[in-house]
Structure 1
Amino acid sequence: MPRQRQPMQARPGRILILVENLPSPFDRRVWQEATTLHANGYEVSIICPTGKGYEKTYEVIEGVHIYRYDLLLEAKGAIGYLMEYSLALFHTFRLTWKVHFERGFDVIHACNPPDLFFLIGAFFKLFMHKRFLFDHHDINPELYEAKFGRRDLFYKLMLFLERWTFKTADVSIATNESYRRIAIERGGMAPDKVHVVRSGPQLDRLRLLPPKDELKRGRKYLVGYVGVMGAQEGINYLLQAAHYIIKEMARSDVHFGLVGGGTSLDEMRKMAVDLGIADFVTFTGRVPDRELIEMLNTADVCVNSDVANEMNEKSTMNKIMEYMALGKPIVQFDLLEGRVSAQEASLYAKKNDPVDMALKIVELLDDPARRVWMGEFGRNRVINELEWQYEVPKLLAAYDEIFESRNLMTSAELTK
């Protein structure tokens, strides 16, 4: 199917995007949405935290106005997250007023986590007649359970905040069908108000490049991973799989390249040392796109070690799409949305079983013809079905609906 460029359309409207967990433009989904909306005639502003390489408190990039605040706290426990999110809510509310007076906005587009931005949305709906769109990135009750392993008072609070976020939203965006069902069944939203907009990769960013052999550290094979180094990402399982390959299977020809930062990075580095495999594992930390893409282009097999739990079972992982976009065969645990995305581009290990993951990795490393076939299947699936260009009309449809409802509301007020 030939690639089609979305036509520029005049869609007058001003949008304010709120995001807490990553700075823009580093958060790729948020940046794709922002630049797409700008390219289709909207005025777009973003409020987000600062981060490494994104220290300016205000700048304009590709026509998008970015307002940032310093969030000098990286939470680890439940109380820590409460403090972090409270500070973020304060700074976001403060900057929302700043954007209101400097540029104005018609719609607040809130990305979670946390599920607290409905408070800002509700305030501006009630007193300023703005509209509120909820962009559902994470299912926070399940995320809390995945991080802390319990369903306590905080878990019930997560359910309460999620419910009120959906009640406040005029329109919501879900990243997959599992999230759409949650919006309808748990959030009580009308089905026609929930739009599925997947996080499709952009092939002009994920370019095919020649491998960099030095990343293999003198070994024949490279196993690649990109993502957050957190508890629910299962890096401990990946390191246990690496240990089994190197120590139990006596494979000294495999190196592991792990790209990404997070709260568990130092702990995982120490674990690699304790397992006696540190010389076989490169932890890059958070790096620029170029280095990430070079690592993935060099990898022979890519892995997704996300823990099998309710959160990951229902979530679509960006890393899977990126692996497929670069034509890489994948090994991951057998999760619902992981299968929906990758299909035959992946082998599926038993849930939370590092030995089976190790065996699946070696199975692919020792079968170059199968690796090529799986990689081509995944890349063709992205080109023909999953690339961001196919999600653009869905995003614009959500905005057509929210602006139509806003115009109807305005017309009704004028006739009173």
Structure 2
Amino acid sequence: MAISKRLCHVLHGPYLTDPRVRREAEALAELGWQVDVICLHEPGKPRRDVVNGVSVLRLPLARKRGSVLRYIFEYVAFLLLATLVLTVRIGKRYRVIHVNNMPDFLVFAALLPKLFGTKVVLDVHDPMPELFQSKYGLGKDSFVVRFLRWQLKWSMRFADAVITVSEEMRKLLNAVVPGLKVWVVMNLPNSSFVRTGQISESERFVSRNGFRLLYTGTVAERYGVRVAVEAMPKLRELIPGVSLRIVGSGDQLEELRTLAQDLGVSDCIEFCGTLPWTEIPKLIRESDLGISILLKDPHTDLCFTNKVVEYVTCGLPTVVSRTLTSEAYYSEEIVRFVEPGDVESFISAVVELYRDPDLRKKMSRNGIALSDRWNWETEKSKYVELIESLA
């Protein structure tokens, strides 16, 4: 294998459930690159693995949700372990090391390889300062947030190239380091995912008992899943056989289970836990309405959630919170906007769509049409062009 075809992804997270990193790694493996991944431990998975031609090394460290101090400990521990692995592998002479945030300062794990000529890519999935503001209620001028801005700036300057997920995120990063070129590679599903998730109109809109809502993703306060649970008693009165399927895990999961029991709706809410990304198309086929109802804060205003684009390009009508990024990318012809955190607004939108199948059909057709220009195949060419130019 030619030296110029070696790349390593570094990910503080589980590889199998991160569709963005998997798509990027597998895109290069298909082109003949030798691709390695260094990631967190995944329960039930071997320490060393090969997934679709990508070599995966899972470090003996698992993600645990907790306080700011817990996250800092975990980030630093993973940084040290990743640094050790990359130092031991210095003989592999990676041409590119692709570091996925969070944390941003994980790029410094590639310090020694960079000194030997390896190019370093920083992929900013989430805005770390804004996320900590949202998650922990920190002020924008607090010490922690100011430190996170500082480390983001120097992490970007250290990297040879910076990638992010949307134009709104690019603008934010350019405000941190003015004049720095930031590549946008959107987090879009590939054509096989979309084909698997799509079904004919006669199947999707067939008259049947029940009306299923689908949420996939992290179950945390900022993602607004509680709004959907609180809406279920009223929705049950207005929509015969309504149900809610919640797929994912997070620090609010047990709270929502308890809330569902207290509201007397636990029999119509299904908590599925975390499922492989490859199972999501089946869930989309089985659903009547997708939901992504973020609360509004500095972080969620910048979120380009992959779940929404997966829903709409598969033809699933979707209810979406009105945020800066969602309004920049979607129109009312494709999604139904609701006010963030407003239970009554959510109920109104769901009931309206339930009662108007023609509107749902129109949204479904518009979402499927969007997949012609919004797809991973288009974004993949941008990513491969960048990596090839660095190598």
Shared fold (TM-score, shorter chain, > 0.5): yes
User: 1:166 is aligned with what amino acid?
Assistant: M
Q: Counterpart of 2:36?
A: 45
User: 1:17 is aligned with what amino acid?
Assistant: H
Q: Counterpart of 1:410?
A: none
- Please, which runs of 5 or more residues in structure 2 have no aligned partner? none
Q: Counterpart of 2:106?
A: 117
Q: Say whether residues 1:14 and 2:6 are aligned partners.
A: yes
Q: Does the Cα contact within 8 Å between 1:259 and 1:292 map onto a contact in 2? A: no
> In 2, distance between residues paired with 1:301 and 1:155?
37
- Please, which runs of 5 or more residues in structure 1 have no aligned partner? 1-9, 404-416
Q: How does 1:278-357 map to 2 (within 5 A)?
A: 278-289=266-277, 291-343=279-331, 344-357=333-346
Q: Does the Cα contact within 8 Å between 2:87 and 2:112 map onto a contact in 1? A: no
> In 2, distance between residues paired with 1:241 and 1:111?
36
User: 2:31 is aligned with what amino acid?
Assistant: N
User: 1:38 is aligned with what amino acid?
Assistant: A
Residues 333 and 47 (structure 1), Cα distance of their counterparts in 2 relative to 1, 3 Å cut: same
> In 1, distance between residues paired with 2:282 and 2:131?
30
> In 2, distance between residues paired with 1:219 and 1:104?
59
283-292 or 152-161, which moves further after superposition? 283-292
Deviation of the 1:342 alpha carbon: 3.4
Q: Say whether residues 1:244 and 2:234 are aligned partners.
A: yes
Q: Counterpart of 1:413?
A: none
Residues 290 and 58 (structure 1), Cα distance of their counterparts in 2 relative to 1, 3 Å cut: closer
Q: Deviations over 1:243-262 (max 9, x none)?
A: 3323xx54442111111122
Root-mean-square deviation over aligned CA pairs: 2.2
Deviation of the 1:370 alpha carbon: 0.9
Q: Counterpart of 1:363?
A: 352
Q: Say whether residues 1:134 and 2:125 are aligned partners.
A: no
> In 1, distance between residues paired with 2:228 and 2:222?
12
**TM-score (normalizing by structure 2):** 0.91
User: 1:32 is aligned with what amino acid?
Assistant: R
Deviation of the 1:339 alpha carbon: 2.8
Q: Say whether residues 1:227 and 2:209 are aligned partners.
A: no
Deviation of the 1:291 alpha carbon: 4.3
Q: Counterpart of 1:26?
A: 17
Residues 167 and 50 (structure 1), Cα distance of their counterparts in 2 relative to 1, 3 Å cut: same
Q: Does the Cα contact within 8 Å between 1:56 and 1:68 map onto a contact in 2? A: yes
Identity percentage of aligned residues: 24
Q: Counterpart of 2:133?
A: 145
User: 1:34 is aligned with what amino acid?
Assistant: A
Q: How does 1:174-185 map to 2 (within 5 A)?
A: 174-185=164-175
Q: Does the Cα contact within 8 Å between 2:292 and 2:307 map onto a contact in 1? A: yes
Q: Say whether residues 1:372 and 2:364 are aligned partners.
A: no
Q: Counterpart of 1:35?
A: 26
Deviation of the 1:59 alpha carbon: 1.7
Q: Does the Cα contact within 8 Å between 1:346 and 1:374 map onto a contact in 2? A: yes
Q: State which of 84, 87, 91 in structure 1 corresponds to 2:81.
A: 91
Q: State which of 262, 270, 274 in structure 1 corresponds to 2:262.
A: 274
> In 2, distance between residues paired with 1:189 and 1:67?
36
> In 2, distance between residues paired with 1:169 and 1:367?
50
Residues 194 and 56 (structure 1), Cα distance of their counterparts in 2 relative to 1, 3 Å cut: same
Q: Counterpart of 2:182?
A: 194
> In 2, distance between residues paired with 1:162 and 1:36?
27
User: 2:375 is aligned with what amino acid?
Assistant: E
> In 1, distance between residues paired with 2:225 and 2:388?
41
Deviation of the 1:394 alpha carbon: 0.9
> In 2, distance between residues paired with 1:227 and 1:317?
9
Secondary structure at 1:129 match in 2: coil
Deviation of the 1:64 alpha carbon: 1.4
Deviation of the 1:279 alpha carbon: 1.2
Q: Deviations over 1:246-284 (max 9, x none)?
A: 3xx544421111111222212221121122211111110
Q: Deviations over 1:77-120 (max 9, x none)?
A: 1111111112211221122234334x431221110011121221
